Amino acid sequence: MGEYEQRRTADVQTGRWMRISATGGLVGGVLLALLGVATHLGLSDAQWAVVNPLGAIAMVLLAVGLPALYLSERHWFGTLARVGFGVMAVGWIATAVTMTAFALGSEAGGLAFLVGWLVAMVGALVFGVSMLRTDAATVPRLGAWLLVAALPVGLPVSVAFTWYVLGQVDTPWNGPLVLYALAWTVFCYHLRTRRTDALAAEAVPR
């Protein structure tokens, strides 16, 4: 009985940490998607001074969501999924770190940001494809489609839109980031809702 209670307590604690992780990813995803759309409408220098720190916060929160998705989906990971998720995670953490440095006033992280962003988007594409190839995923396939579309669809749409609206290609990486952020919104909303239901069920006396 004692062993059962210990295991149940550990499961509850893990579930709570997953819920925290999913909540971070959800908030980050919504915030980053909104900021990505806003940047395509043209911003003043004063507005950029607000958007950049908020973007850094959103990216860090999305990084917080990585463990929840990994723990939820690792049961079906094959080689492709492991590589894709790993590349996406490393690239995204690098992106979040360099964006945070930029928001704090560093001018040296521009190239590192773009490299991290590209690595993350390539990893997201690979991971999304691997998710679409399995029937064992527990999160919505809509998120996988958004990951797959982020780079090959988001980039040209962003270039075309900014050229048409602003008269020049401006921050083209924000198009893919919008789709990427929406994917994480879908994933983390599902994970958070599922963990909330599970915690509620575990709280019911037996």
Alpha-carbon span 52 to 48, nearest angstrom = 6
In this prediction, residue 164 has a pLDDT band, given cuts at 50, 70 and 90, of: confident
Q: What is the pLDDT of residue 118?
A: 96
pLDDT in tens, 94-122: 999 999 998 888 776 778 899 999 999 99
- Mean pLDDT (whole number) for 136-150: 96
Alpha-carbon span 12 to 181, nearest angstrom = 28
Tell me the three state secondary structure of residue 188.
helix
- Mean pLDDT (whole number) for 49-69: 95
Of the candidate ranges 5-9, 17-21, 142-146, 162-166, the one whose mean pLDDT is the lowest = 5-9
Q: What is the pLDDT of residue 163?
A: 82
Instruction: Select from 70, 74, 31 the least CA-distant residue to 51.
Output: 31
Q: What is the pLDDT of residue 2?
A: 55
For the chain, the average pLDDT equals: 86
pLDDT greater than 50 at residue 205: no
Alpha-carbon span 192 to 5, nearest angstrom = 24
Alpha-carbon span 54 to 58, nearest angstrom = 6
